[in-house]
Structure 1
């Protein structure tokens, strides 16, 4: 039985507001690294029905969040990688920084990386359940704040070559 008072440690950078403009490397995994999104054969990714839903809904995010730029993106059998850029006008960006020190870990706000990824995962789950398909997300996701062009290029290259390097991937399971 879980202790109701137990809180897992926060894995986000305490010095950063995840609603601030910037580029972010995101990795979202399936529960238990199950291959819900498709399979790789001959270094090519073949999406399952669930993978197609993930792909379509990912590319629809800017319809709901026009300040978000989707950059590099790849769906793997049991995870996805993406680079997204938040580029809000100054008046929207400043809304997320009010009283930063007291609200930092209470409410991330509607325009943060957590709310964007949470909304995406929720939308995918609703569509998958409605169609009677099987899938589940890992509870959390990984993010990395991209701070310079060299880091951006290294991560972009990793995403672009992820399918062809599947057997060397840390999330690889046969």
Structure 2
């Protein structure tokens, strides 16, 4: 992301797909990270060649809140998702059967689009942490990608499913150590 000048101050350019309506029917691949990539949600445990997340209470809440998204947004369908120690990957599908006309983004209330859904999800997990007195936080942004075709969807599903198995390798690369 590059920085641009706005009112004599720097700001980070949007990572969103320019001109795309993020309330439109489609499949969205999202990644949401915790504050400073702290491992709030648990740890990856490997047993019998299977890697999975051993959740903390807030990690279980992150799963429960994700599964509750369609209860708050009936037009949402959940696909593959994975809660990791410090981030979440998920495929969200906006499916409004009555929505057939694509329209460009407009400025105004943001209550039924991808950003509102992610904001609601983050609030649910954060509220739970606050009630338990956990010093928890999210990164202010999230990463998204509009899934463009079936091949890309298949690759992303595989990536999400394999994420726990790749956790230790990714962590080593992330901190700059190489075996």
- Which TM-score bucket, shorter chain as reference? 0.7 to 0.9
Instruction: Return the structure number with greater strand share.
Output: 2
Shift, 1:70, TM fit:
0.6
The answer to whether the aligner puts 1:125 opposite 2:119 as a matched pair is no
Checking the alignment, whether the CA contact within 8 Å between 1:36 and 1:134 is kept in structure 2 is no
TM-score (norm 2): 0.83
Residue 139 of structure 1 aligns to a residue whose secondary structure is: coil
TM-score normalised according to structure 1 size? 0.85
Taking a change above 3 Å as real, the CA distance of residues 165 and 37 of structure 1, as seen in their structure-2 partners, is same
Q: What are structure 1's unaligned runs of at least 5 residues?
A: none
Deviation at 1:109, TM superposition (A): 2.1
What's 2:4 paired with? none
Question: Offset of 1:7 from its aligned partner?
Answer: 3.6
Q: CA RMSD in A?
A: 2.3
Which consecutive unaligned segments of at least 5 residues does structure 2 have?
A: 1-6
SS state of the match for residue 165, structure 2? coil
Q: How many Å apart are 1:108 and its aligned residue? A: 6.1
CA distance in 1, matches of 2:15, 2:133: 33
The one-character-per-residue Cα deviations of 1:114-164 (angstroms, maximum 9, x if unpaired) are: 110011101111111012123110000000110101000000000011101
**Aligned equivalent of 2:42:** 38
C-alpha deviation, 1:79, in angstroms:
0.3
2:27 aligned partner: 23
Alignment CA distance shift 1:90-1:7 (3 Å)? farther
> Given the superposition, is the C-alpha separation of residues 172 and 47 from structure 1 closer, same or farther in structure 2, using an over 3 Å criterion?
farther
- The residue correspondences of 1:58-137 to structure 2 (distance < 5 A) are 58-91=66-99, 97=103, 100=104, 103=106, 106-107=107-108, 109-137=110-138
